[in-house]
Structure 1
Amino acid sequence: MIKNEYHVIGVMSGTSLDGIDLALVTFSFNNTWTFKINSAETVPYSEKWQLELKTLINHSKEALYLIDQYYTDYLADIINQFILKHSINTIDAVCSHGHTALHQPEHQLTYQIGNLPQLSRKVKQTVVCDFRVQDVALGGQGAPLVPIGDELLFVDYDYCINLGGFANVSTKEQSKRIAFDICPLNIVLNNYVSAMGLKYDAEGVLASKGEINTALLNKLNNLDFYKKSYPKSLGLEWVNTIVFPIIDSYNLSVKDILRTYVEHIAIQISEVINQKQKASVLVTGGGVFNLFLINRIKELSKNQISIPSKEIIEFKEALIFAFLGVLKLRGENNCLSSVTGAIKDHSSGKIFQL
């Protein structure tokens, strides 16, 4: 489907479990790509779905497939409500990431629920989805996938950092786009504030009142993952088996855990972005609203940190998954081997049509 303008809905559910992001985007092509976010919103998960998604890795394959069917139906309902609410009449495709249930690329395994063919039937639209599977089959990490959007939509920045469930970075090195996960972020912070009945640490206020535990900080900073070269990616399994047990072994107060972990995040991010001098750094994702974290990154960084509009902060991933779908419809590469480690650049994703 080659044309100069596309109207698509991008749908994203991240590991921080704050909800489903939906964005209606118009993409225009005239030698370069431009975009306009027309409507966007986040639909929060119910407590039932939050608990279900948090424990996906504990299920058998059979149970997971059943959840996949329920989740696909649920996702279809959310998308249909979005279309109705915003009176959307022209849609070229719905481009959906789904929700990651399993991600073990070293075992050639990645599974995102919500990508079944019934999604297309229930929303009565062309659907482009399941963007990670092909990359893993080609020897790649299947993540991160956002860098093609950084390459073509956010060309003015030396680094694009996303602060979501995990912090990840996209940049150019020797004229090639590279990207990798930096460290776990909201997936850890939100876990510990949940014990206090909170969904997140608003503006990082709790963390700012804690004390750094140097022993814990050093142990976190010395994890093997940080010594590996890219491409590399993280998943919930790694956090559950490595990070949480380390933190829990210190028996610290929630405030001290948050303060120590925020410092860990700021150190890991600053070490990445300080490799270039006078660089421009675009920072997006829910972690941007943690002002204490942002200030620590700024204090440790030598570069210019740019915070974009609230719309881009919150919906950049939904925007770029919409863009991945457009590239797939055009038969153009949307997955870069220099980023994921796959054997070649390729056009990833499945297209379901009515």
Structure 2
Amino acid sequence: MIKDEYNVIGVMSGTSLDGIDLVYATFSYNDGWDFKILNAETVAYSSYWYTVLKDLISKSLDELKNIDLDYTAYLGVVIQNFITKHQISTIDAVCSHGHTALHQPEHKLTYQIGNLPVLADILKETVVCDFRVQDVELGGQGAPLVPIGDQLLFSQYDYCLNLGGFANISMELDGARIAYDVCPVNIVLNKYAKQLGFDYDDGGQIAASGSELLALGNLLNALEFYKAKPPKSLGLEWVNKNIFPLLDAAKLEEKDVLKTFSNHIAHQIAWVLKKDSKVLVTGGGAYNDYIISKIKLNKQVDIIIPEPELVEFKEALIFAFLGILKLRNEVNCLNSVTGAMKNHSSGKIFLP
């Protein structure tokens, strides 16, 4: 489907479990890509779905397949409600990431629920989804996938940094796009904020009030992942194995865990940035004033936090864009980023 303009819906559910992000956007091509977000919304998860999704990695494959059926149906309702609410009538495709249940690329395994063919039947629309599986089959990490969007939509910045469940970064290096996961962010911070009765650490205020345990910070910074060269990616399994045991063994108050880990995040991010570079920061962590200030303290950089719509919906926007590239049979997955054997056009197209 090659044309100059596309109207698409992008759908993203991330590891921080904030909810389902939906955008309706127009993309146009004229010697380069432009976009305009027309509608955007986050649908928070009910306590039921929050609990189910939080425990996915403990489920068997058969259990995941049953959850997948239910989640795909639920996702269909959420997307249909979005279409109805905003009176959207022109849709070239619904482009959905789904929700990651398993991500173990070293075992050639990645599984995102919510990507079943029935989604196209529920919506009566073309659906483009399941963007990670092919990359893993080709020897790649299956992540991150956003960098092709960074390259084609946000090339005016030296770095694109997303602070979501994990921090991931992309940049041009020696004529190729390079991107990787830097460290965990909200997937860790939100856990300890919730223990204090908050959904998240608003602005990093709790962290700011805590005390740092330098010995714990040193243990975190010494983890092998940080010494590995890209391509590399992180998942909840890695956090459960490497991060939570260290934090819990320290037996600190939550505010001190938040302070120590927030400083760790800032340290790891500043380490990969070059001095005086322009850094576009998006994702929920862009609102964490404490972490942003610590990054600036660690490295002299120009941090640009765009309008809230882009901060909160950039990933959903780019998954919409990945779907367009798939419809055009154009590269949407870069081997310089994921380590796959070749660049490729990833995703599955389901027709109603």
Equivalence for 1:272: 272
Residue 102 of structure 1 aligns to a residue whose secondary structure is: strand
Residue 196 of structure 1 aligns to a residue whose secondary structure is: coil
Aligned pairs for 1:1-354 (under 5 A) are 1-273=1-273, 276-354=274-352
| Cα distance in structure 1, aligned partners of 2:20 and 2:271 | 31
Deviation readout 1:39-96 (Å, 9 max, x if unpaired): 0000000111111101001111000000000000000000000000000000000000
Shift of 1:293: 1.1
Q: Is the 8 A contact 2:266 2:294 kept in 1?
A: yes
Deviation readout 1:179-234 (Å, 9 max, x if unpaired): 00000000000011111221101111110000000110000000000000000000
List, as ranges, runs of 4+ consecutive aligned residues in structure 1 with deviation greater than 4 Å. Answer: none
| Cα distance in structure 2, aligned partners of 1:128 and 1:86 | 21
Residue 170 of structure 2 aligns to a residue whose secondary structure is: strand
Deviation readout 1:83-141 (Å, 9 max, x if unpaired): 00000000000000000000000000000000000111001100000000000000000
| Cα distance in structure 2, aligned partners of 1:128 and 1:101 | 19
TM-score (ref. length: structure 2): 0.99
Q: Unpaired segments of 5 or more residues in structure 2?
A: none
Shift of 1:301: 1.7
TM-score (ref. length: structure 1): 0.99
Amino acid at match of 2:325: L
| Cα distance in structure 2, aligned partners of 1:278 and 1:292 | 20
| Cα distance in structure 2, aligned partners of 1:249 and 1:278 | 38
| Cα distance in structure 2, aligned partners of 1:323 and 1:288 | 22
Shift of 1:278: 2.2
Q: CA RMSD in A?
A: 0.5
Q: How many residues align?
A: 352
Deviation readout 1:10-30 (Å, 9 max, x if unpaired): 000000000000000100000
Amino acid at match of 2:295: I
Shift of 1:299: 1.4
| Cα distance in structure 2, aligned partners of 1:290 and 1:156 | 24
